[in-house]
């Protein structure tokens, strides 16, 4: 049994806490700038709401979900505790903050993992990319995977690729939601009710994603199977190409990666 702490209960921190709560043999400590939020979530998850200080004093594994510009201050405020503790595992969700930066903020005996989750973890269909710090062990990796694998797909990457994964999988859901919304709006413009249009758009995206995942066929091949010669689908695809749809998605993801890198500076 381990004592696990989560500091920072925003959208991602709350989802991570919910996943961690599924492992009932561990003790879960929750801390947040707004204490009332921690208390409310603690009741729901059968966890314990505490201060940041208590988390650093008691937890064996700490997930840190504060914003990138707040993480150094948080660690400095609790540095006295960290200097006295035996080696603990610290897991950062701060976009753009590198392992080298994180390791420089704490005593060298502590171990770090850098992770980037996305919001579909809430429905067990998420993506978590992660990289191990220089002191993190294979056992740390195994524990990390065991704790979070119920949330979806967990992928280990070289740290040099984490910002790209953040832009694609971390920011990508927002781009997909815009596409679903636009597809549904198109349906409404053609006379479908909003309820039916959204239902059809949502299932179309879900089903299409499942086709890619389950058949393992490249999206180009699957697209070609839908595009009959001279048919309605190819007419729509040509329109997307003419309006720069593909380029827009690529550029949006590249911009997201650039911003992620800026957040860590």
pLDDT at 201: 98
Tell me the average pLDDT across 89-113: 95
Distance CA 90, CA 136 (A): 9
Model confidence at 110: pLDDT above 80: yes
Distance CA 250, CA 20 (A): 34
Hunting for tokens 């004093």 — which residue is that?
A: 57
Hunting for tokens 């091949």 — which residue is that?
A: 221
Q: What is the Cα 48 distance to its own chain's centre?
A: 24
Alpha helices in the chain (DSSP H): 11-20, 35-45, 52-58, 71-77, 79-84, 99-104, 138-148, 162-165, 172-189, 194-215, 219-226, 232-242, 245-263
Angle separating helix axes 11-20 and 35-45, nearest 10 degrees = 30
Distance CA 74, CA 113 (A): 17
31 burial via Cβ count (<10 Å: 0-12, 13-18, 19+): buried
What does pTM read for this prediction? 0.91
Model confidence at 97: pLDDT above 80: yes
Give the DSSP H or E segment for 29.
strand 27-31
pLDDT at 265: 76
Task: Convert the pLDDT of each residue in 175-216 to its tens digit.
Answer: 999 999 999 999 999 999 999 999 999 999 999 999 999 999
Task: Convert the pLDDT of each residue in 49-59 to its tens digit.
Answer: 999 999 999 99
pLDDT at 172: 97
């Amino acid at each position: 049994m381990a004592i696990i702490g989560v500091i920072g209960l925003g959208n991602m921190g709350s989802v991570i806490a919910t996943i961690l709560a599924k492992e009932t043999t561990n003790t879960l400590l929750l801390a947040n700038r707004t204490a009332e939020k921690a208390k409310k979530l603690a009741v729901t998850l059968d966890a314990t709401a505490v201060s940041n200080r208590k988390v650093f004093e008691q937890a064996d594994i700490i997930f840190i979900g504060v914003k990138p510009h707040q993480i150094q201050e948080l660690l400095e405020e609790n540095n006295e505790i960290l200097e006295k503790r035996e080696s603990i595992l610290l897991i950062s969700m701060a976009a753009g903050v590198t392992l080298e930066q994180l390791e420089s903020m704490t005593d060298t005996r502590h171990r770090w993992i850098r992770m980037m989750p996305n919001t579909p973890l809430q429905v067990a269909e998420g993506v978590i990319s992660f990289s191990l710090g220089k002191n993190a062990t294979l056992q740390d990796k195994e524990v990390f995977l065991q704790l979070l694998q119920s949330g979806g797909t967990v992928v280990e990457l070289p740290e040099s690729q984490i910002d790209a994964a953040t832009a694609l999988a971390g920011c990508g859901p927002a781009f997909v939601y815009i596409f679903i919304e636009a597809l549904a709006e198109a349906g409404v413009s053609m006379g479908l009710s909003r309820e039916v249009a959204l239902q059809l758009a949502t299932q179309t995206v879900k089903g299409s994603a499942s086709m890619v995942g389950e058949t393992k066929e490249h999206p180009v091949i699957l697209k070609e199977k839908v595009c009959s010669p001279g048919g309605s689908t190819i007419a729509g695809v040509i329109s997307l190409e003419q309006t720069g749809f593909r380029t827009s998605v690529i550029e949006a993801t590249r911009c997201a990666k650039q911003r992620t890198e800026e957040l860590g500076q």
